[in-house]
Structure 1
Amino acid sequence: MRISTFLLPLFSLLPIAFAADQGHWADLASNSKDGIIKLDSASYEELLASDREYSVSVVLTALPAQFKCQPCHDFDPAFHQVAASWRRKPRHVRDGHFFAQLDFADGQAVYQQLGLSSAPTVQFHPALAGPNKSNKLSVITYELNRNGLTAPPLHAFLNNLTPEGFAFYKPINPINYIAIPASILAIGLSLYSMRKIIVPLVQSRLIWGTFSIILILTFTSGYMWNKIKNAPYVAAGPNGQISWIAGGYSNQLGLESQVVGGIYGILAFSIVALTLLIPAQSSPAKQRVGVYLWLAMLVVVFSLLIKLFRMKNGGYPFALLF
């Protein structure tokens, strides 16, 4: 009778002790910047006691430089970001789930116990008692190899396991809201101060004409086709010699497109010379000589273009000079 009288108050204090343990972890999480509890081997075992009424997400990592774990450093911001998102829940909710981190330097015994040989590893430990007790497995491991090292997949994984769902929070970077408008304003002021130089250039027919011809030559020469098809620059012929012309209508080589582009460019400049440069000459004799020269250039170069087409397609029946 005396023993039962003595033990009864102790048994009545057990729920209070368990609640105090949960409150201890809640205080540690609350005092942490991102709500993450730093662990060692002993506190890892205490946090994951078999009678816990809370769930835990633990990342086992190896952040010190001597371990050279680059994936650990890549994943660490993602884990902190998800933990910070959970920390935004009301305290009575977030105290039902904790985020914790165990570094290899502080928990080698745990690594040996779990048989882990690589990091990082994320484990979800559901509540084993109390109102949030789950019928899930005692440990659920997050598949980093399949989901990657970013925060959104980790949030999606934990959002289905925590006592309540929580939104993924991405902090706003105020620098972007300052730097972008400031850059736009600086560019605008610079352009305005240079308006006496920029406006004549924008209104110049010569510049727009040159730019248009370059674009036309780029697309008509087959450059974009080469980029899309990843065509070789040259190819080996049947006897081992280097060939720069690909036979057929549906094939082309890089050097071939450059030659075609050059021919198109000379033809375009010949037309520009006949329509703009020659009429600008004040002397009729110079105009006459210029017409003869540029017409001869036009005919010769166009004949080369037809010759090139015949080399590419043997059945083509037409020719001009060659």
Structure 2
Amino acid sequence: MFLLFLVIHFLNLFNSHLFDNRNYSLAIVFTALDPVYKCEPCKYFDKQMRSVAKSVMFEESNPLYFASLNFEEGKESFKKMGLNTAPVLFLYSIGQSEPIKYDLTEGVEAQNIIDFLNREGKYNLSYRPPINYGKIFAIMGSLLVSLVGFIIVMCSGYMWNQIRHAPYMARVGDRFSLIAPGFQNQCVMESQVITVALIGIVIVLLTSVVPKINAGTQNFVTSLLLGIWFLSYGYLTSLFAEKSGGYPYTIL
């Protein structure tokens, strides 16, 4: 069973139920999470505490609970404890009326908090970091993109060139041509020309358009992309016409 992380919303709950006749230990964070205070350390420490509470296991013989008291909902408690900064972590151990204050200079990471609890509360807790699903999805996405790229290469003109040992250029009569006539033949240069053209277009878009795009340039970017599409499609129709001499429809 995982430990409980309790967010205290009522002052009387803090003053009475949590500290009268306790048969458990309590690690409580005095914090200021409201956006008005802009306390970035509070947000980070709260994240680490929640990670600790979710990772360690409950002990029946010496139960430990985690709690958080926000400044907006416990100003009197902050005043009673003499606190004028946040975050502050206290450990209320079983059988002890006075809390043990955590020294933030020891570190604000989850493992630092675990070490403090084990040392002061006589626990034997171990920290298991949460699964980083973002990293897993990133790796899976990279593998998927690589797999799709591999499939495209295997189905592309490059693979045809490797299997058929296509010549780099074709000899047509007394001259050399980059494009072999007919659909049963192909030159290595044909696939390379298309590849280089596509790479060039992608580089131009990534370096010149994407970083600068905003609402005021949408029309320009749209026109540019349409122009690139028109030229690319025109080149493909011209290439098709050269491959098939009877094809009448070309743009360029």
TM-score, length of structure 1 as denominator length: 0.43
- Structure 2 CA distance, aligned partners of 1:47 and 1:98? 13
- Structure 2 CA distance, aligned partners of 1:170 and 1:184? 24
For residues 54 and 174 of structure 1, do their structure 2 counterparts lie closer, same or farther at Cα, with a shift above 3 Å needed? same
Q: Displacement of 1:54 after TM fit?
A: 2.0
Which of 73, 79, 82 is the equivalent residue of 1:112? 79
What residue in structure 2 maps to residue 35 of structure 1?
A: 4
Q: Displacement of 1:89 after TM fit?
A: 2.5
What residue in structure 1 maps to residue 217 of structure 2?
A: none
Q: Percent identity?
A: 26
- Structure 1 CA distance, aligned partners of 2:36 and 2:22? 35
Larger radius of gyration: 1
What residue in structure 2 maps to residue 161 of structure 1?
A: 120
Q: Deviations over 1:67-109 (max 9, x none)?
A: 22111111111011111223x325x246x22211111011100
Q: Displacement of 1:185 after TM fit?
A: 3.5
Q: Does 1:65 align with 2:24?
A: no
8 Å contact kept, 1:63–1:73: yes
Q: Deviations over 1:189-222 (max 9, x none)?
A: 325635739x99xxxxxxxxxxxxxxxxxxxxxx
1:180 partner letter: I
Which of 137, 140, 160 is the equivalent residue of 1:181? 140
Aligned pairs, number:
157
For residues 177 and 93 of structure 1, do their structure 2 counterparts lie closer, same or farther at Cα, with a shift above 3 Å needed? farther
What residue in structure 2 maps to residue 54 of structure 1?
A: 24
Q: Deviations over 1:31-87 (max 9, x none)?
A: xx961122232222224535423221110001011122111111111011111223x
CA RMSD of superposed structures (Å): 2.9
- Structure 2 CA distance, aligned partners of 1:62 and 1:115? 15
8 Å contact kept, 2:26–2:92: yes
Q: Displacement of 1:188 after TM fit?
A: 4.3
8 Å contact kept, 1:93–1:163: no
For residues 89 and 34 of structure 1, do their structure 2 counterparts lie closer, same or farther at Cα, with a shift above 3 Å needed? closer
Q: Displacement of 1:161 after TM fit?
A: 3.2
Q: Write the mapping of 1:119-138 to structure 2, written as runs, cut at 5 A.
A: 119-128=86-95, 138=98
8 Å contact kept, 2:58–2:64: no
Instruction: Please identify, of 161-170 and 185-194, the stretch whose mean Cα deviation from structure 2 is larger.
Output: 185-194
Listed as ranges, the gaps of 5+ residues in structure 2 are 163-167, 169-252
TM-score, length of structure 2 as denominator length: 0.54
Q: Which has the higher contact order (CA 8 A, sep 6+)?
A: 2
Q: Which SS does the other structure have where 1:160 is aligned?
A: helix
- Structure 2 CA distance, aligned partners of 1:84 and 1:54? 18
For residues 189 and 50 of structure 1, do their structure 2 counterparts lie closer, same or farther at Cα, with a shift above 3 Å needed? closer
Q: Which SS does the other structure have where 2:66 is aligned?
A: strand
Q: Does 1:85 align with 2:45?
A: no
1:85 partner letter: S
What residue in structure 1 maps to residue 184 of structure 2?
A: none
8 Å contact kept, 2:55–2:130: no
8 Å contact kept, 1:147–1:153: yes
For residues 64 and 79 of structure 1, do their structure 2 counterparts lie closer, same or farther at Cα, with a shift above 3 Å needed? same
1:36 partner letter: F
For residues 55 and 89 of structure 1, do their structure 2 counterparts lie closer, same or farther at Cα, with a shift above 3 Å needed? closer
